[in-house]
Amino acid sequence: MENTALKKKKEIEEKVFSYVEKHHMLAAGDHVLCGLSGGADSVCLLYLLLAIRKHIPITITAVHVNHRLREEADADEAFAQQLCSKLGLPFYREEADVKAMAKAEGMTLEEAGRMARYQIFEQLADKLKATKIAVAHHANDQAETLLFHLCRGSGLTGLVGMRPVREQIIRPLLCLKREEIEVYLQAVGQSYVTDATNADSTFARNALRNQVIPVLEEKVSSGSVAHMGQMAEIAGLACDYLEDCLQKELERCAKAEEGDNGSCLRLILPAFDMLHPYMKGQVLLACLAEVSGSRKDLANVHVQALLSLCGKQVGSRLDLPYEILAYRSYDSICFVKKGQKRAERFEREIRLTDGVESRIALPGGKNLLLLLRKVPQAGISMENIPRKAYTKWIDYDKINGSLVIRSPQADDFFYFSDKNRKLVKDYMVNEKIPKEDREKQLLLMDGSHMVYFLGRRISNYYKVTEDTRHILEITVTGG
């Protein structure tokens, strides 16, 4: 019997050591923080790290986080401390007000506890200059996580479950089933504490752990847990590959812009439309995550709504989580955070002196140059009129009031031809100037009559003719 136990102990140690090597979890000189709750999983982890230390020279420090949620919390802490004293290992105890965190962050106690533990681990690792943080998730936990994600509506990333290595965090026990952990502890003759709340199947994860997974192992396949672990590894490799593809596609079809209206992420539809349907969904989720700063609560329902928005008319809008507004522009979908300040409207009055160039600084580092001069007695040669987009001549004698350079207003108009009067806002629509960019345009105005739409066109009414006696030359430079 004793030989069988020792043989099983050795097999498990070799299995875990191979898993650690396969995923490059540990290297000589690493300082490992081991999360130690006192339960079977964490106690097993601590013993296996000690076994690994025989092969790889590492430093081990145990950390216990007291959540103050159960009556047994202090007893669990005392057990963990005594165990480390017996094994000759450094021990740190930390405390977290999980109830307060859950209330403040609007999350469950389980979520808050997980967040608190990792925050403490990371802070202590930084303080102690530890290089790795070992946590005791095992194969049954991985299967539980996969099922939980799948049942709640998961994409491929949810099937990855918990990574064997994520930054500093390592999970050496993901290759072990819960039964193997118990066998190992029995073989080394080590007791552990039991959290009674783990038996309460009113909690979703406990129901999966205590009811669903045992049925799968008994009725479907005795390798169900192992197979789900294999699926997680395959999904992880697939996701790594697809993430590389995703980053390339994002560079091609998503552009971050910063303007007077704040930050905007623009999804260019002609490029987006060429993507595979799967990649379209990933690009949309990535855009939402970029604007929101989180992927939590972003799901397929939001992808489908955005795909629908892509086919709607210009100006259509969609409200999304995290106060994100998506709207359809001419050739793009724009993602913005609600409540961003609107552009400040630009307006400057122009004062002219005959023969003296006036200069006005414009937004974006541009300058407006205006020069008023008389037409020679010989008159104007129509061939000399500038044809450049940023240099225009107008008939100054037709100006009725004082000239102003400003942002567009609702009733601004101009003459498209001699008799065709047109609203500037309609012109911008026809020119496919995105709605969010229209307030940024600058117009040279004579009252409500547009003289010159900077960089585009002048009103036909102000065109220079053979009868013109005063020319106003307008040039836009810089920017």
Give me the pLDDT at residue 1, please: 53
Tens of pLDDT, residue by residue over 407-462, are 898 889 999 887 889 999 888 888 888 877 888 899 999 999 999 999 888 999 99
The answer to whether the beta carbons of residues 318 and 327 sit under 8 Å apart is: yes
% of the chain at pLDDT higher than 90: 55
Task: Kindly report the three-state secondary structure assignment for every residue of 136-194.
Answer: CCCHHHHHHHHHHHHHHCCCHHHHHCCCCEECCEECHHHHCCHHHHHHHHHHHCCCCCC
Which of the pair, 291 or 380, is modelled with greater confidence?
291
**Closest by Cα among 195, 174, 176, 175 to 187:** 176
pLDDT in tens, 111-126: 888 888 999 999 999 9
Task: Average the pLDDT over 140-162 and give the result.
Answer: 90
- In the predicted structure, residue 383 carries a pLDDT above the cut 60: no
Can you tell me the mean pLDDT for 180-188? 96
Whether the pLDDT of residue 395 is over 60: the answer is yes
CA pair distance 251, 233, nearest whole angstrom: 28
Indicate whether 135 pLDDT > 90: yes
Who has greater pLDDT, 255 or 171? 171
Task: Return the H-helix or E-strand segment holding 146.
Answer: helix 139-152
Banded model confidence at residue 389, pLDDT cuts 50, 70, 90 = low
Considering only 173-177, 223-227, 331-335, 426-430, which range has the smallest mean pLDDT?
Answer: 426-430
Mean pLDDT of the chain: 88
Q: Is the pLDDT of residue 153 over 90?
A: no
pLDDT in tens, 70-114: 788 899 999 999 999 999 999 999 988 888 888 877 888 888 888
Q: Which residues of 192-227 are buried (b: 16+ CB within 10 A; e: fewer)?
A: bbebeeeeeeeeeebebbeebbeebbeeeeeebbbe
pLDDT for residue 300 is more than 90: no
Q: Give me the pLDDT at residue 357, please.
A: 87
314: confidence class by pLDDT, cuts 50, 70, 90: confident
**Number of helices (H), then strands (E), in the chain:** 14, 22
pLDDT at 260: 44
The number of CA neighbours under 13 Å toward the Cβ of 458 is 24
Report whether pLDDT(268) > 80. yes
Q: If you ran DSSP here, which 8-state letter would residue 418 be given?
A: S
Lowest mean pLDDT among 55-69, 243-257, 374-388: 374-388
Place of tokens 């960019």: 437
Over residues 264-292, mean pLDDT = 93
